[in-house]
Amino acid sequence: MAAKHDLPGNTSKDENDTVSALIEIQKCRVPQQKMRWIVENLECLGRRQSRKRKLNTDESEKPERPYWFRKEVNGFTDSNFVALSYTWDASEYETQNPKPEGHLIERRDREDDWESSVRNSVLERVTRYMQCHDVPLLWIDRHSIPQKKCKTTPCVHGECKQKRHALDAMDWVYSLSDHPVALLGRPIQSEDEIATLSAILSGALVKYQDGKPALDKDTEYRQANKMLDLLHEITRDKWWRRAWTFQENYKAGLKMTLLIHHDPDLERAKRSTPSGTKAMFGVVPGELSIQSVKFFESATEFCLAFRQHHFATSEDEEKIIHILKTAGRYRMLLSHSTSMSGIIISDVNWRGVTEPWDRLAIIANCCQYATRLDAARLQQMEGNVASLDLSILALRLLNGEILNNEEAHVPDGTIVERMNDLFFDDFRAPKGAKKLTYNKGCRFFDVEFTRTGIKTKGHLWKLGETLRPPRSSPRLSQTSHKDKKQLSEYERTRLKQLSELIRAKHTSDDAGIVDCIKDFLEEDSFVMDDQGSFSLRYRRLMTKAVVRAMDADQTLSLGYLCDPEGEPTVARGIFIHDRDAVESDEPLSQADKDPAYVFTSLWSDEDVDEEYLANELDHHVSIGVRLSDDRSQESLQLYTQEWVLGLCFFTGVPTSDVVFPWPQLKMMQHRMSIADRIKDTFKRAESDYPLHVSICNNDVSTLQEVLGSREASFLLLDGDGCWGTPLHVAVYLDNIEAANLILQVGVGVDVTADSSAHEHRLSPLALAVRLGNQRLLWRLWQHLHSQEEESKANVDSCLFEASINSQTTILRALLSWKEWTTKAKSEALFWAARSWKAYSAQLLTTQLSFPQDVLDKALHHAVDFGPLIGDDFKLDYNGDDYLQQQLLIALLIDAGANPNATDHRGKSALHFLGSPIALNRSGPVVRLNETAIRILLSHNSSVSLEDDVSGANPLHAAAFGSNLNMLQLYLSSCPSEQTSQALRSKNNFGETLLHYAAAGAKRDIVEFLLSQGLDVNGINTNGWTPLHCALTPARQGSQLNGFSKSTSEALEIAKILLLHGANPRAVTAEGWTPLHCLSLFASKKKENTELGQFVDNMIHRGVDIHARATFLFWNELGNVEPKYHYWGHEVQDRIQEPETSGAIVRFGYTPLHFSAAHGSISMAKASLDLGADPLSKDARGNTAIKIAANSLLLDDRPSTRNAIVKLLTEAAVT
């Protein structure tokens, strides 16, 4: 339980919680300290050769156990070892230990051995690779890094320290190894899959159109879909979803080899698959060997091509998103102006890791960050100031990543979700440079967080007059010098021409740059390509860019070094303009409206350290900036604009401190937009709302005058029906002075007013929480405390608002300000779970203790549909929301929630996750949270738990709402001997998985279940067969955003069932034939050829078009249009108890009557064409015409009613 603390002191007016947290996190910065001795003394393993068996040895003698000896190698000088990348947990496809005994590993003391904790299958697979490629040694983390770890933090034990050092330097192992190898789990299972994978890697279907990959115009969907399915299957394995293996693959780069297992009988097919003169998949027995980069490039190329093709479905798009997330090649996915850091961090965050804070180290390794954060200290910080997402943001900034502080429009969401939107992404690499590699080095150095902004060091330049150098002479040779770092003779000549132009046009004071160019050319001629400093290499690169600009007749400008006050001094730079400029001797600042400046900085870790490994990433910045008008600060304040390339000379000139102010994020912009709306509301309402108006105008004297009047007590409680009381308006406008005046006259902080919107009916206290205004919240809370009104005020809503709006900083503060009731804490957790706010839930579960039933209930809220409502009041999800749900489920289980707990209906979490979620945003129509399902299954969540409503288990839910991959994932949790029984499980009403799959129109599942022998004519307790279920529009999705299969989908499933022997003449206990079911699909179209042919076929098979049945419908509040219908046992339940279920029952209905009531025009037309009687009457004597005219289901669809009445009337007349 959280202890009740004394109320903290007031914060200053300019306090910003995010900035305060970043400054606190900064105190945990540490330099990169990767120990050289770790790499110089790598502990590798070598497998001892088996002793030759003696001639007289008994053939039944037990074979010798594999034995691995230890050998230390220097990774810098001996890289002939395998660095193995694998998952500690076995893949679902993997037989963990085919042999009963494990391999033996020599102990570190070299005096004994122990049995390996690594799976036999892992060591056998890597042994085959090592033998085939003659690699003598293996580096494997489980044995090459000491694994003993005590629970003390910090720890001084030798092995614990060695483990920490080894983990820190592990990325170097994969970079240095000549043989980094990854063991994938999902095997290749047939010759057809080998051929399919070969086609993917060779780009058989991909052509390039306008520089973009596209599928060949003759490509068939079946062929392309087979490739997509295989890629999806391969990348769903555990190896692709772990953060540590991501690092291992990323750091290994071009050298990483992926091994995909296959059965021995596929060896010949593998070796006969050519790629030039070699076998495409190598010759390692039992393994396909694929270069990782090749796989990533081919998978990305194919997915981008598939996505452009017209036949890609929503399910295909879902698979493409997954493949690109796991195996996307950054070079092909990212814009040339973007840094890779953002996508690296997103990919690391998406992947799983046992210790979430390990992500800091993984991100730092992959992004080559020289500054690190001490994760142990961060987690121990008082008040949990350092959340993981803020720590990741701090890590990026401390390592020089550049914020776009000129205009940072950040969409709603947590910092980690929207982090990439904060950063500058308009880098412009010079021609010839590897663009993404160049962009990776575009970082500040020596960064420090201040209250004002980000302080760094460098040089500021003011752009001066423009230069128009002479064009290139045809006599000058432009010999190609590809990959040559030194300047060519042509480039040297062009730079000399530019130097002469500057000398001719400028006074001796500005001609110092001419001497700089001369000295530079001498240095360039003297220092060879592979020598010299980073500064020289950078100046060469920029010279080449300047020469290209000269040849392209681009405008150049002289750059004047500025002093610490921003005043220009001497010309020492030449910068390239992308914009057109008029040739002028006047300074550019006079030719343009605003002055133009460029900020540059260079840094390189070139000092050789005998103890620590170098960072090896050079930093370089050359960015156009705007100077702040406020020159009162100690350091100049700069705002980012655009990337500007230029050749600079600043030898001997010290750097200056500058500050890049924190960007104004959307929260503040949103508050300003509300302010404008409020002010507009009260612009002409002074007589009616004098307090509101004076607050809007910040008119303190008038506010005080009105507060002193007799009417004040009434006006203070008066709401406008939209924005609330005067105190509400003060909170909206962040007007703390007005709020203080109002509080002084005795208004309660929990006052509410009538309003048309929920958030405007909140108390001012809760409103401050929702807006994230901690300063005003604290002032209101102080007032509440000082007036001793806390016990009477309703403050529980504050906890709720902080949770549901992810105001974690405020939530943390609230938990320390008060001892909250059990109900308030539980409701806060429930709403955090309902709305998929993982970080709110994490804070609550780490700071508070919850009983078992509360945690279980929260888990059920987490797996249900999150109420993320968009403007059209429909479910509105994107991919980040699913990540939040996954995190939420994992942390609730870690907190103690029972993954097998059931709700009031007896449904477990797996029941809910078997259903799809409808999306309104761009992308797939529906989505299943596979990762969340895997999390539950990994915690032994059962697929056999039956609910209390129908006795259906999670397998029924998956058959109805998911796809074959998900159903097989559910089945994989069953012991192999129980799989057949699980496939044949029935609910309490005798409905099988086939009934559910048919009702959900899941073709792949239906075909699978039929292949497993399920009864195509199996009936439930009221006679429903899978055929009836297939032809009924059953609801899927949520109450807010439900959907049903289409008529064509229903017909497709029905045809499959009929081909497998389904009885078309089967009739339910209610008298429903398949044609009655089909008549429930509402339709506006009159003609449907496919439907007509199907009805005709059914009648020829003996289905009675005049059969009578009991009709059931209901008038669902808020959704009169009958998109869905009950099916199976639900129909019988509601017919038997119509009053309880709210159903309306009618008797003696033919399929035509069903069509008339539901507005199924196409079905009515087909029935009439095939002999249905338009004048036949139901049990109450009503014809189809009268039924349609009076149907409640058509009240909101008058055009449909008129159309079907007209159709029936014309048929009756003829």
Question: What pLDDT is attached to residue 721?
Answer: 72
Q: pLDDT value at position 623?
A: 95
Mean pLDDT of 439-465: 93
* pLDDT, position 1030: 96
Grade residue 637 by pLDDT with cuts at 50, 70 and 90: very high
For residue 877, name the pLDDT band (cuts at 50, 70, 90).
low
Q: Which residue has better confidence, 373 or 1120?
A: 373
Among the listed residues 368, 348, 342, the one whose alpha carbon sits nearest the alpha carbon of residue 427: 342
Are 665-746+761-778+794-798 and 1068-1214 in the same CATH fold?
yes
Is the separation of the CB atoms in 374 and 824 below 8 Å?
no
CA dihedral 336, 339, 342, 345 (to 10 degrees): 120
Measured CA to CA, the distance from residue 292 to residue 947 in angstroms comes to 45
Least confident of 124-138, 753-767, 935-949: 753-767
Query: Residue 152: its pLDDT value, please?
Result: 56
At 673 the pLDDT is 56
Look up residue 756 and give its DSSP letter: S
798, 881, 887, 890: which is closest to 838 by C-alpha?
887
- Residue 52 DSSP one-character state: P
- pLDDT, position 466: 86
What would you report as the CA-atom Rg of the chain, rounded to the nearest whole angstrom?
36
pLDDT at 759: 43
Hunting for tokens 């910080």 — which residue is that? Answer: 381
Q: What tens digit of pLDDT does each residue of 1150-1165 get? A: 999 999 998 999 999 9
User: Rounded to a whole number, what is the distance in angstroms from the first to the last CA of the chain?
Assistant: 80
Query: Is the pLDDT at 135 greater than 70, yes or no?
Result: yes
Residue with tokens 């009578």: 1108
Contact 223, 294 (CB under 8 A): no
CATH class in words for 665-746+761-778+794-798: mainly alpha
- Rounded Cα distance between 751 and 749, Å, is 6
C-alpha–C-alpha distance, residues 298 and 196, integer Å: 12
pLDDT at position 965 over 70? yes
Please determine, for residue 10, whether its predicted confidence score (pLDDT) is greater than 70.
no
pLDDT of 508 above 70: no
Instruction: Give the pLDDT confidence score for residue 1069 in this predicted structure.
Output: 95
Q: Is the peptide bond before 146 cis (omega within 30 degrees of 0)?
A: no
What DSSP designation does 253 have? Answer: G
For residue 741, count other CB atoms closer than 10 A to its CB: 21
pLDDT of residue 7: 29
Of the candidates 817, 818, 821, 807, the one whose C-alpha atom is nearest the C-alpha of residue 772 is 807
Q: What is the DSSP string of 973-1014?
A: TS-GGGHHHHHT---TT---HHHHHHHTT-HHHHHHHHHTT-
SS (H, E, C) 794-808: CCHHHHHHHHHCCCH
| pLDDT greater than 80 at residue 408 | no
> What are the tens digits of pLDDT across the range 973-994?
999 889 999 999 999 999 999 9
Give me 973's structure tokens. Answer: 């949790």
**Rounded-to-integer distance, Cα 753 and Cα 763, Å:** 8
Percent of the chain with pLDDT over 90: 44
Helix axes 314-327, 221-235, angle to 10 degrees: 40
| Spatial contact of 1006 and 1056, defined as CB atoms under 8 Å apart | yes
Q: Is the pLDDT at 367 greater than 70, yes or no?
A: yes
Q: Please give the average per-residue pLDDT across 838-850, as a whole number.
A: 91
| Whole-number percent of the chain with pLDDT over 70 | 82
What is residue 1016's three-state secondary structure?
coil
Average pLDDT of the residues in 89-105? 75
Cβ neighbours of residue 876 closer than 8 Å, sequence gap 6 or more: 868, 869, 870, 919, 920, 921
Categorize the per-residue pLDDT at 1068 as very low, low, confident or very high, splitting at 50, 70 and 90: very high
User: Which of 229-233, 402-406, 744-748, 908-912 bottoms out in mean pLDDT, i.e. has the lowest?
Assistant: 744-748
Q: What is the mean pLDDT of residues 510-530?
A: 84
159 has pLDDT over 70: no
Query: What CA–CA distance (Å, rounded) separates 149 from 163?
Result: 8
The burial of 1209, by beta-carbon neighbours within 10 Å (0-12 exposed, 13-18 middle, 19 or more buried), is given as middle
For the chain, give every domain's residue range: 37-50+63-179, 184-333, 348-425, 436-661, 665-746+761-778+794-798, 1068-1214
pLDDT at site 299: 96
Task: Check pLDDT > 90 for residue 352.
Answer: no
pLDDT at 735: 87
Neighbours of 333 (CB within 10 A): 14
The token pair that represents 798 in the structure block? 């504050």
Looking at residue 38, its pLDDT comes to 82
- The answer to whether 565 and 539 are in contact (CB under 8 A) is no
Q: How many residues does the chain have?
A: 1214
Two tokens at 111? 């005096």
Among 734, 730, 735, which Cα is nearest to 749's? 730
Identify the band that residue 57 occupies on the pLDDT scale cut at 50, 70 and 90.
very low
The residue behind tokens 């042994």 is: 127
Q: How far, rounded to the nearest angstrom, does the alpha carbon of residue 986 sit from its chain's CA centroid?
A: 37
Question: What is the pTM assigned to this prediction?
Answer: 0.60
Reply yes or no on whether the pLDDT at 544 is more than 90: yes
Q: How far is CA 638 from the centre of its chain?
A: 32
DSSP 869: B
Q: What is the pLDDT of residue 148?
A: 62
pLDDT in the model for residue 316: 83
Mean pLDDT of 120-136: 94
Written as one letter, the residue type at 478 is: Q
Are 437 and 447 in contact by the 8 Å Cβ rule? The answer is no
Query: From CA 115, how far away is CA 127, in angstroms rounded?
Result: 17
Q: What sections of 137-182 are H helices per DSSP?
A: 141-144, 158-168, 170-176
Q: What's the token pair of residue 382?
A: 């008082």
Give the span between the Cα atoms of 1035 and 507, in whole angstroms.
83
C-alpha of 1043 from chain center:
25
> Quick one: average pLDDT of 434-453?
92
What is the predicted pLDDT for the residue at 575? Answer: 94
Residue with tokens 């900085």: 601
Taking a C-beta distance cutoff of 8 angstroms, is the pair 927, 917 a contact?
A: yes
Beta strands in 189-277 (DSSP E): 206-209, 212-215, 257-261, 274-275
Q: Which two tokens stand for residue 1160?
A: 């199924």
User: Quick count: other Cβ atoms within 10 Å of Cβ 4?
Assistant: 12
The distance of Cα 1109 from the centroid of its chain, to the nearest Å, equals: 50
Q: What's the mean per-residue pLDDT of the chain?
A: 83
Q: Are the CB atoms for 802 and 828 separated by under 8 Å?
A: yes
**How far is Cα 1194 from Cα 1201, in angstroms, rounded to an integer?**
6
Name the band, by pLDDT with cuts 50, 70 and 90, for residue 920: very low
Where is average pLDDT lowest: 170-174, 515-519, 685-689, 1161-1165? 685-689
- Determine whether 430 is exposed, middle or buried from the number of CB atoms within 10 Å of its CB (0-12, 13-18, 19+): middle
Assess contact for 943 and 973: CB atoms under 8 A: yes
Report whether 1020 contacts 1128 (CB < 8 A).
Answer: yes
The residue-averaged pLDDT of 846-865 equals: 92
Q: Domain 1068-1214 adopts which CATH fold?
A: 1.25.40
pLDDT digits 0-9 by tens, 107-123: 988 888 889 989 999 99
The amino acid present at 865, given as its one-letter code, is F
Q: Reply yes or no on whether the pLDDT at 921 is more than 50.
A: no
Whether the Cβ atoms of residue 306 and residue 213 lie closer than 8 Å to each other: no
Kindly report which listed range (368-372, 466-470, 754-758) carries the lowest average pLDDT score: 754-758
